[in-house]
Amino acid sequence: MTLSTGDETAASAVPVPAQVFPDYRVTSLIVACAIFMEQLDATVLATALPTMARDFRVGAPSMSIAMTVYLLALAILIPASGAVAERFGIKRVFNTSIAVFVLGSIACSFAGSLPAMVAARLLQGTGGAMMAPIGRLIVLRTVERRHLVSAMSWTLIPAFLGPLMGPPLGGFIVTYLDWHWIFYINVPIGMLGYWLVRRYILEIPAGAQPVRFDLAGFVLCGISLGSLLFGFEMIGQGNALARALVLIAVGGTAGLAYLSHARRCRNPLLDLSLLQIGSFRLSVIAGSLMRVTQGAQPFLLPLMFQIGFGLSAVRSGELVLATTLGAIVMRSVTPGLLRRVGFRRGMLVNGVLSSLGYAVCALFRPDWTFALMFGLLFCCGAFMSFQFAAYNTVAYEAVPTERVSAASSMYTTLQQLMLSVGICAGALVLKLSMGVSGHAEPRLPDFSIAFVVVSLISLSSIRWHLRFAADAGHELSGHRRAG
């Protein structure tokens, strides 16, 4: 049996012995667990920072670096994941990344000072940076095309679970246990994941002719992504505006330098020529716009419920988790829906529903019933789950097999960046609204404006959905057979 890409003539077949071909659900869930750890640790420290600051004897604001250094490691190293995997072997690098992540978690749990925590988080982020893109690459290389939609839906769930469960889980652990347990929980999960990968994931050989690593591109990408990430975050927090603008300018300049470099380089770190593939380019653009809204939502909702409504952290967490439940339920019906309506129509209609769903959050008020808000957020999570499952699958429809690793690295890099931009966009609009209205703390109208603005950003993706071919992804969804 052979796996093939959407372009049969350009792709090179990857033979997989039928007798050892794994159940795609097993592969997807193993990858999903690894991605869950990486996503969870991006936000789990949020509610634990004050307690950790007291133990480290530093101010609480100083602890923000423990979160940003992790995101920085992700932003810098994700672009290199594809090249590293192709050179040293996909399965080997994936398992090594899990081991490094677990070691970083153990180091975090033993950290006795802020510098030690920053170093440990950097090590942890180094492992986490490889898990998501290489995990997606494993799914693309080992799952039959007819199961690809279902497999991608499974691996999408951690993108919702991790960021949303992080803050309430961190608060629970700090309240009833100790902040060290935030990192202890990664150890058994990581050890189990390491064994499962060795036991159930197929051996995927390294490239026959590994290309020379693009060191110049790696440096330029690292400077660009790191500077942009920190710059956007500083603007969102409303701190050191001049310094933030300098960072953004540096990031933009480095980004332009990389574009020039990529045009001259034979094997660039991020292969921009992939954007010439229609389905990949449209999925990147439309998905980036939608991810701004998805990134802002975990930031805005808890603040609105706790500051605007006066709810407890636990009650707020219960409401926010409604979106995760919606995403999980939608996972089981996504393949059937895509088979019935197709990718283009599904993304077009559901894209509008996803945007309007979060726009409705602007109308939430304290006198609304818990059940009503929970139900609406459940629908929001379901809509977004369908949308990203469609993006993450149709993006690779026409990508040749030998370019899948490069496509996965590029797609995951932009995904991580746009989720971070979403958080910054939500914070920035909130700050601007507070400044115009003269509020020292955000009030309900400020939150309403922020939800409307980020929803309009995702709604602008409609024009890109219309540009998808009418038969986009039909081979993956089976829509032609249904029609």
- pLDDT confidence of residue 159: 58
What's the pLDDT tens digit per position in 397-427?
Answer: 888 877 877 787 788 778 777 877 787 788 7
Per-residue confidence band for 12, with pLDDT thresholds at 50, 70 and 90 = very low
**Residue 423, token pair as written in the block:** 């958080």
Which structural domain, as residue segments, surrounds residue 478? 273-483
Same domain, 32 and 110: yes
Please name which of 421, 12, 379, 465 lies closest in space to residue 208, comparing C-alpha atoms: 12
Of 254-263, 373-382, 422-431, which range is least confident?
Answer: 422-431
Structural domain includes residue 251: no
Query: Contact at 8 Å (CB) between 135 and 35?
Result: yes
Q: Is the pLDDT of residue 9 over 60?
A: no
Q: Is the pLDDT of residue 18 over 60?
A: no
Same domain, 48 and 120: yes
Beta-carbon contacts of 132 under 8 Å, excluding residues fewer than 6 positions away, are: 34, 35, 38, 39, 78, 412, 416
The span from the CA of 172 to the CA of 313, in Å, is 9
The span from the CA of 275 to the CA of 437, in Å, is 42
Same domain, 40 and 175: yes
Structural domain includes residue 119: yes
**Residue 6, token pair as written in the block:** 């959407």
- Burial class for 163, CB neighbours closer than 10 Å (0-12, 13-18, 19+): buried
Please provide the DSSP assignment of 416-442 as one string: HHHHHHHHHHHHHHHHHHHHHHT-SS-
- pLDDT confidence of residue 121: 87
Residue 2, strand partner residues: 15
Query: Contact at 8 Å (CB) between 385 and 149?
Result: no
The beta-strand segments (E) located in 47-175 are: none
Q: Which amino acid, one-letter code, is at 279? A: S
- pLDDT confidence of residue 430: 83
Same domain, 363 and 450: yes
The span from the CA of 477 to the CA of 295, in Å, is 27
Structural domain includes residue 255: no
Backbone region of residue 416 per phi and psi (left: phi > 0; alpha: psi in -120 to 50; beta: other values): alpha
Cβ neighbours of 8 (radius 10 Å): 9
* Overall average pLDDT of the 126-136 stretch: 81
The owner of tokens 């039959």 is 144
Same domain, 208 and 297: no
Structural domain includes residue 268: no
Structural domain includes residue 257: no
- pLDDT confidence of residue 214: 82
Same domain, 317 and 185: no
**Residue 125, token pair as written in the block:** 């982020």
Q: Which residue has the higher pLDDT, 357 or 85?
A: 357
Domain C-terminal end among 199, 214, 229: 214
Query: Contact at 8 Å (CB) between 190 and 101?
Result: yes
Please name which of 139, 146, 269, 149 lies closest in space to residue 213, comparing C-alpha atoms: 269
Same domain, 161 and 279: no
Please name which of 452, 411, 419, 458 lies closest in space to residue 162, comparing C-alpha atoms: 419
* Overall average pLDDT of the 351-360 stretch: 91
**Residue 76, token pair as written in the block:** 């810098």
Length of the chain: 483
Query: What CATH number should be reported for the domain holding residue 400?
Result: 1.20.1250.20
Query: Contact at 8 Å (CB) between 187 and 106?
Result: yes
Helix (H, G, I), strand (E, B) or coil at 317: helix
Structural domain includes residue 4: no
Structural domain includes residue 164: yes
Same domain, 309 and 414: yes
The span from the CA of 230 to the CA of 248, in Å, is 8
Q: Where does 206-312 have alpha helices with state H? A: 215-237, 241-264, 278-303
- pLDDT confidence of residue 192: 86
Torsion sign across C-alpha atoms 204, 206, 207, 211:
positive
Same domain, 75 and 186: yes
Cα 443–Cα 321–Cα 382 angle in degrees, nearest 5? 105
Domain C-terminal end among 174, 189, 214: 214
Same domain, 310 and 379: yes
Residue 15, strand partner residues: 2
Domain count, the chain: 2
The span from the CA of 332 to the CA of 168, in Å, is 26
Same domain, 113 and 209: yes
Q: Which residue has the higher pLDDT, 435 or 384?
A: 384
Per-residue confidence band for 153, with pLDDT thresholds at 50, 70 and 90 = low
Same domain, 186 and 330: no
The span from the CA of 126 to the CA of 128, in Å, is 6
Domain C-terminal end among 197, 214, 231: 214
Helix (H, G, I), strand (E, B) or coil at 57: coil
Per-residue confidence band for 19, with pLDDT thresholds at 50, 70 and 90 = very low
Per-residue confidence band for 238, with pLDDT thresholds at 50, 70 and 90 = low
pTM of the predicted protein model:
0.71
Of 21-35, 94-108, 109-123, 452-466, which range is least confident?
Answer: 21-35
Return the biggest CA–CA distance within the chain. Answer: 68
Q: What is the average pLDDT score of the chain? A: 79
Structural domain includes residue 249: no
